[in-house]
Structure 1
């Protein structure tokens, strides 16, 4: 039966997805609406909801001429029900608030992620080891700590996963090789210990290419890309990219030598940060290249990346290469205002035939978007940047020195491609290494000189989108890696500077494209802020891969 009155406001489903410090309700009304039964129902509902905890409810607008905003303060926290299957789709920041306010328990969060791992790992091969019982026990202890009012901060109860290059006490660390399939460290790497101290819960160890060297993994299956499982996630932190993109962990750690955090982030549509060399401890990290290895976060949003970095950064007496530089409040200092920020587009790494036209166009559009937000964007030149594949020369000397005993005594157990590589690299002349180091020093000088005139440098993260998973000879794989990166990620590795990759669009095949933003040493906050400004004014990060 029609009432003849304008329809009253319609409440959408209440969901604890967006968090505020008070309950904010938006109500559209007219004089007719005030006389409708549904208007009275809305007012009663709003009063009732004062008894609930932190979450936002919105009353759908119906094109009425005016509205009232009802800001209802919290009275106390009441436990809400939430579909467990929805928990993995929350950001770290959102889940953190729900755990803090006892809306979601750490046990529920861990169980939700374990369910997702069970569902998808057989397709994506993101995890090499799942710490089911350990994670559930840690979650129960995390819940008990909350009962005692011992809240550790925003990472409390957050389910995380780390690359299987990072030592974990009592849990095997394979470094992606069957040689170490039974190796169980006696203590945590510093970054793992820091995560635990911050309250995070380890879900498991993530896939990687053997020793972090080759493009694909043959011993443990190659990690697959959630955007298209026939494609690679990127190396060598391959499982970190796949697991984070598929919502199989809240955030993850990878290790970046020449781009092993930023590459998977680019190909999986994520935020991946390589910190300044020495910003994060490497104690307990199985080495790849001692002069460039660094641990970094791979997350789904810039805010989550900042939270993860906050938990792991800082001086470590066990790593003499870490710097005694104060760690800022990365999350608290996030600022989306880039007005006046000077951004340099590195033309040698954009206008090159090594960059796919779709990638070039997406990066150019991102630069234009930042300019529209008030940034001062200009092209800059670093001619030596195109020679950043000198990292391969340094790799050929430093990598084999980490595994000399294995090369001498267990060569046949190393994957075929790596076997050839390590034997070849072991005879690299010292003169080649010396020249590589000299070129690195010169390139670093040029990068820092360019950064004197701008706040950040901008370029593609990878020259192409994620390739098909195809077994290739290692030499061909290295050439492909150099071509795909086109010196982009390695530029900042050689300069020991921070760089972040953030999603800036998709190809015609619905594959993510990465935008790389690099800055001066210890300027992580600056590169995060530029990435945050771009993220907050686009919606690429809200897209989900089709799998699961």
Structure 2
């Protein structure tokens, strides 16, 4: 069978049709992916470990079942990869920590088991920052941005962003505690969905901060994000915080802005935001108007306090999550994660209560605002992916760090869903990211808005030019 030259860059819904119509074989597709990983990933470092034997075993099983007329789901036979914080039975799950380099789970995380039952093929585990916090452990090589190796690949789902953008998997599953799905998607020109907190089970996912952690898809299009969410979302008996199942029919989602009310806070959207990103957002606003949507001038609740508090808020919960190994094995931790946990352990109960009250206040104000709206529009970050030198300065500058996360972390605190989308390239050729924020449970509306943008633009089809 002759394989398409752009096979590795097909969107999942396109590949699904080709596999189900028997025009492409799951085994051939998986073999092509493994060959591309072997060729390109030594320079990209997106995979923590590749599982070729397992991938081919699952691909052959999918091929047999499809040949017998059994189609488990539209994902049957499609090769995916997982951030290395999701447990995978008999495959190391290290969460970006050398401390856990030999940790082999007995069972899959719920998201992994749901995709395995849907017939998806697992290519391997994707590299990430240490413990899903800000920086990679000093002993681990950080993934390289395929658009420009001198720039940030995003955190903490860095390997997910690089592998999906470079055509080394058709999609990936990441996690987002302060922006960790949306930052890598913005940096790598992808579409990422941070669902409502609890929409996707966290059972079997390495914990950073339980009340802030969100699990979601990282893909090449909004349609693909909905494609994956419809399989991984829903209540899990093993996760008491998971939300009830929801039916998301992909073909039934209207891909227009017709009738949608989108909130625009001009002051917020210009708060330290580069003019090139502001201009890109203006283009999105024109798409909303032209597509039948209504732009409403609003005032977003002040995000300053929740952004400033985010690290302390996260640090307390991270200290609890790491209690078995920290401080007992503190020497095996990198400096960034040590600093986060130490800060959390030192925070007083009264100070943490003040943080929680600020979080509740912001969440309530946002809920009231979204009662009158369907969506908010925002950038993912105030600028395109910084250079590594620029990024290193953020750790020592609290205000610069707050500005970086001011459009992402507040919605981890509140638990509202967000979809990150490519909104063009800078003059230097780096991807830029915008996002819509929706009501809790409003993932279908978010994906609808994403599909509406991607129906009239080609930003999501731009690929890193230095890769073939």
- Is TM-score (shorter-chain normalized) higher than 0.5? yes
Instruction: Tell me whether 1:261 sits opposite 2:181 in the alignment.
Output: yes
Given the alignment, which residue of 77, 83, 99 partners 2:3?
A: 83
Determine the structure 2 residue equivalent to 1:359.
277
Contact map agreement 1:84 1:108 (CA 8 A) in 2: no
Determine the structure 2 residue equivalent to 1:270.
190
Structure 1 residue 141 displacement after superposition: 1.0
Distance 1:86 1:258, change over 3 A: same
Determine the structure 1 residue equivalent to 2:291.
373
Distance 1:273 1:514, change over 3 A: same
The secondary structure found in structure 1 opposite 2:271 is coil
Instruction: Tell me whether 1:519 sits opposite 2:467 in the alignment.
Output: no
Determine the structure 1 residue equivalent to 2:40.
120
| CA distance in 1 between partners of 2:55 and 2:96 (Å) | 22
The secondary structure found in structure 2 opposite 1:224 is coil
Superposed, 1:284-303 pairs within 5 Å as 284-303=204-223
Determine the structure 2 residue equivalent to 1:73.
none
The secondary structure found in structure 1 opposite 2:140 is coil
Contact map agreement 2:211 2:413 (CA 8 A) in 1: no
Given the alignment, which residue of 89, 92, 95 partners 1:169?
A: 89
Determine the structure 2 residue equivalent to 1:157.
77
The secondary structure found in structure 2 opposite 1:409 is coil
Contact map agreement 1:161 1:206 (CA 8 A) in 2: yes
Superposed, 1:97-496 pairs within 5 Å as 97-324=17-244, 326-353=245-272, 355-389=273-307, 390-470=309-389, 472=392, 475-476=395-396, 480-485=400-405, 487-496=406-415
Structure 1 residue 425 displacement after superposition: 2.8
The secondary structure found in structure 1 opposite 2:302 is helix
Contact map agreement 2:301 2:362 (CA 8 A) in 1: no
Structure 1 residue 118 displacement after superposition: 1.0
Distance 1:262 1:443, change over 3 A: same
| CA distance in 2 between partners of 1:399 and 1:100 (Å) | 43
Determine the structure 2 residue equivalent to 1:12.
none
Task: Give the count of matched residue pairs.
Answer: 465
The secondary structure found in structure 1 opposite 2:197 is coil
Structure 1 residue 212 displacement after superposition: 0.9
The secondary structure found in structure 2 opposite 1:405 is coil
Unaligned runs of 5+ in 2: none
| CA distance in 2 between partners of 1:330 and 1:227 (Å) | 34
Unaligned runs of 5+ in 1: 1-80
Contact map agreement 1:500 1:518 (CA 8 A) in 2: yes
| CA distance in 1 between partners of 2:266 and 2:239 (Å) | 37
Higher mean displacement: 264-273 or 410-419: 410-419
Cα deviation digits, residues 281-326 of structure 1 (max 9, x gap): 00000101101111100000111111111110010000000122x4
The secondary structure found in structure 1 opposite 2:363 is helix
The secondary structure found in structure 1 opposite 2:324 is helix
Contact map agreement 2:394 2:401 (CA 8 A) in 1: no
Distance 1:159 1:480, change over 3 A: farther
Structure 1 residue 124 displacement after superposition: 1.3
Distance 1:388 1:365, change over 3 A: farther
The secondary structure found in structure 1 opposite 2:336 is helix
Cα deviation digits, residues 22-66 of structure 1 (max 9, x gap): xxxxxxxxxxxxxxxxxxxxxxxxxxxxxxxxxxxxxxxxxxxxx
Determine the structure 2 residue equivalent to 1:58.
none
Contact map agreement 1:84 1:109 (CA 8 A) in 2: no
TM-score normalised per structure 1: 0.82
Higher mean displacement: 296-305 or 391-400: 391-400
Contact map agreement 2:269 2:379 (CA 8 A) in 1: yes
Higher mean displacement: 465-474 or 312-321: 465-474
Contact map agreement 2:263 2:377 (CA 8 A) in 1: yes
Contact map agreement 1:173 1:185 (CA 8 A) in 2: yes
Contact map agreement 2:394 2:400 (CA 8 A) in 1: no
TM-score normalised per structure 2: 0.96
Higher mean displacement: 84-93 or 273-282: 84-93
Superposed, 1:4-15 pairs within 5 Å as none
The secondary structure found in structure 2 opposite 1:401 is helix
Structure 1 residue 147 displacement after superposition: 2.2
Higher mean displacement: 519-528 or 360-369: 360-369
| CA distance in 1 between partners of 2:280 and 2:179 (Å) | 20
Distance 1:479 1:248, change over 3 A: farther
Given the alignment, which residue of 501, 510, 526 partners 2:420?
A: 501
| CA distance in 2 between partners of 1:242 and 1:371 (Å) | 33
Structure 1 residue 473 displacement after superposition: 7.4
